[in-house]
Copies of this chain bind each other. A is one copy, B any other.
Amino acid sequence: MRPPLPHRFETDGAAIYRASFAMIRAEAALARFSPIEEMVAVRMVHAAGMVDLAPHIRFSPGAAEAARGALEAGAPILCDARMVSEGITRTRLPAANRIVCTLHEPAVPAIAARLATTRSAAAVELWRPLLAGAVVAIGNAPTALFHLLNLLQDPQCPRPAAIVGCPVGFIGAAESKAALMDTLPVPAIVVDGRLGGSAITVAAVNALASRQEI
């Protein structure tokens, strides 16, 4: 028996990106987006591996510009999960922006117990000193987004520049994102409904971080 031939595959990373983005632009319904929104949506679709994500992506007016402007001005990025904070591509960041995930800080379990809430929601309490002008990236926990919305009901609470709010799942995800877009305490980018997740959230941040697509 002859040994099998090796599998052949594209090995040029930039070429893979270019071909992927071209395929998304050919297949996905992107006409309703502004140019900056389109670049963000393409990368979110790419991360999901699903052109049917596009109809679920929603930007409040000026949200993409607000998030990009904040990043270029050096805003920190506040993440609800390590999969989000670890996924952000450092080399795309315009100002060596600080990336923060407080979920595993030692204080979190006690805060969660005191507030009778999840650890993901309790971790948001630790964002307060960094919240003014920050970019928030929530890709996992609906309770983190709900908790942040409740904090922002206090007019004294510092305002982030924008929220990328894409928690995923079956309990609270759709509701938390609807609450964000209905109340809109700050500009926001969401994936409506159950879809979302850390990879899609990271993709949005990575797209907002750099004007260069690849």
Chain A residues engaging chain B, CB cutoff 8 angstroms: 3-4, 6-7, 9-13, 16, 19-20, 23-24, 46-50, 81-83, 86-87, 116-119, 121, 142-143, 146, 149-150, 153, 168-173, 175-176, 179, 183, 193-199, 202
- A198: contacting residue among B20, B83, B171, CB under 8 A: B83
- Tell me if A87 and B50 are in contact (CB < 8 A): no
Q: When chains A and B are docked, how far (Å) is the Cα of A86 from the Cα of B170? A: 23
- Tell me if B7 and A171 are in contact (CB < 8 A): no
- Tell me if B83 and A150 are in contact (CB < 8 A): no
Given known contacts A3-B153, A149-B7, A13 and B118 CB-to-CB distance under 8 angstroms: yes
Q: When chains A and B are docked, how far (Å) is the Cα of A117 from the Cα of B9? A: 9
Q: Which residue of chain B has its CB nearest to the CB of A21?
A: B170
> Chain B contacts of A86 at CB under 8 A?
82-83, 86
- Tell me if B199 and A9 are in contact (CB < 8 A): no
> Chain B contacts of A183 at CB under 8 A?
4
User: What distance in Å separates the Cβ of A159 from its nearest Cβ neighbour in chain B?
Assistant: 16
- Tell me if A46 and B143 are in contact (CB < 8 A): no
Given known contacts A143-B9, A153-B3, A49 and B87 CB-to-CB distance under 8 angstroms: no
Given known contacts A11-B118, A83-B202, A87-B198, A24 and B170 CB-to-CB distance under 8 angstroms: yes
Q: When chains A and B are docked, how far (Å) is the Cα of A138 from the Cα of B11? A: 17
User: What distance in Å separates the Cβ of A57 from its nearest Cβ neighbour in chain B?
Assistant: 14
- Tell me if B49 and A197 are in contact (CB < 8 A): yes
> Chain B contacts of A202 at CB under 8 A?
83
> Chain B contacts of A198 at CB under 8 A?
83, 87, 198-199
